Amino acid sequence: MISTTIFPGRYVQGSDAISQLTTEIARLGNFAFAIVDKGVMALVRDTVKTDDKAKIAVEAFNGECSDEEIERIGKRVAAEGANVIAGIGGGKALDTAKAVAHAAGLPVVIVPTLASTDAPCSALSVIYTAEGAFKRYLVLPKNPDVVLVDTTLVVGAPVRLFVAGMGDALSTWFEAEDCKQTGSANMTGRVGSMTAYGLARMCFDTLLADGAAAKAAASQKIVTPEFERIVEANTLLSGLGFESGGLSGAHAIHNGLTALEGTHGYWHGEKVAIGTQSLLMLTKRPREIVNAVYGFCEAIGLPMTLADIGIGDATDEQLLEVAKLACDPADTMGNVPGSVTPKDVVAAIRAADAEGRARKAKQLAA
């Protein structure tokens, strides 16, 4: 059996790392076209500029990773004659940069200003309509050439987004283990390697060891060693773990949950946390693992009940619709060991919710 593991070409992280941007660009070309989120333009204006290493042209991102925006920026890139693409900001700006680089056949440097998902390292762009509705996935032939994470920028983002990133990362080891057990494919269509599964476990261990201290540091806007390690776990370890280890039930349940309107005000990682807790019940993970996961979620403030993601009053009929979507053959529930039915998924979601409610009640009584 052939295994395949994919990585970004280079990962750079640290306080004031954005000062190395032109150095990293210069390894790939001499003129970068930078797509920058409007929300961070003021923060990076003094550092994203031409110097003796590389020229940079800056373009404000319009807000949607759409075919129209990709085409608009692509025309600007061609007119300017740039030979490197850079993306700076949140997920949609970064996905746009990846898609523009792919269309132009140019290298890409990704500079996330949040640690809220594991998407920056991936060979994937999510394409939306100009109005913001999901349209399709664009699977790219390679990962970004450089991912550069300035933790001084990241620590300035809302703490809730940082915690949501930990919620997304929390699923990584469990889903990779499911794929390993069932011999299921990762995002390349092949099985993962020993390295991928090992990094997925490192992601989990790092979250438990440093998550609470990292959140405390983020609350004070302080970059500490614990904060650095969790940024790396959220971004690199989780990215490698999901892409090269594989996905299973936690993300499938997340995808189903998005069908309920009440969840729309909650972040991806917050809903993935509920998916992970449900996956623990679905796959009958050991009690010590269940305790560790719920204890972690409680310590950093991740959702532990359906009410925590806006659907405390969800009916069995509504959850069955969630479960049917989660069990769609096109999703990743099939990577879970055993034969899983929508009714099994509903029971797991209810069991996870009951566990969370019991822990909250105990906490209130203490």
pLDDT in tens, 309-325: 999 999 999 999 999 99
Whether the per-residue pLDDT at 200 is higher than 80: the answer is yes
The radius of gyration of the chain's CA atoms, rounded to the nearest angstrom, is 20
Quote the CA–CA distance of 136 and 126 in Å, as a whole number.
Answer: 6
Whether the per-residue pLDDT at 221 is higher than 90: the answer is yes
Whether the per-residue pLDDT at 366 is higher than 80: the answer is no
Res 168: pLDDT = 96
Listed in sequence order, the residues at least 6 apart from 156 whose beta carbon sits closer than 8 Å to its beta carbon are 43, 221
pTM above 0.75, yes or no: yes
Quote the CA–CA distance of 82 and 80 in Å, as a whole number.
Answer: 6
Average pLDDT of the residues of the chain: 96
At position 39, the amino acid (one-letter code) is G
Confidence of residue 188 (pLDDT cuts 50, 70, 90): very high
How is 167-196 classified by DSSP, letter by letter? HHHHTHHHHHHHHHHHT---TTSSBPPHHH
Q: Which of 144, 193, 130, 204 is nearest to 168 (CA)?
A: 204
On whether the CB atoms of residues 250 and 276 are closer than 8 A, the answer is yes
Res 89: pLDDT = 96
β-bridge pairing 108-112 and 146-150: parallel
Q: Which of 283, 237, 240 is nearest to 122 (CA)?
A: 240
With a pLDDT cut of 70, the percent of the chain lying above it is 100
On whether the CB atoms of residues 249 and 340 are closer than 8 A, the answer is yes
Count CA atoms closer than 13 A to 226's CA, side-chain side: 18
- Tell me which residues are annotated as active site: 168, 251, 254, 268
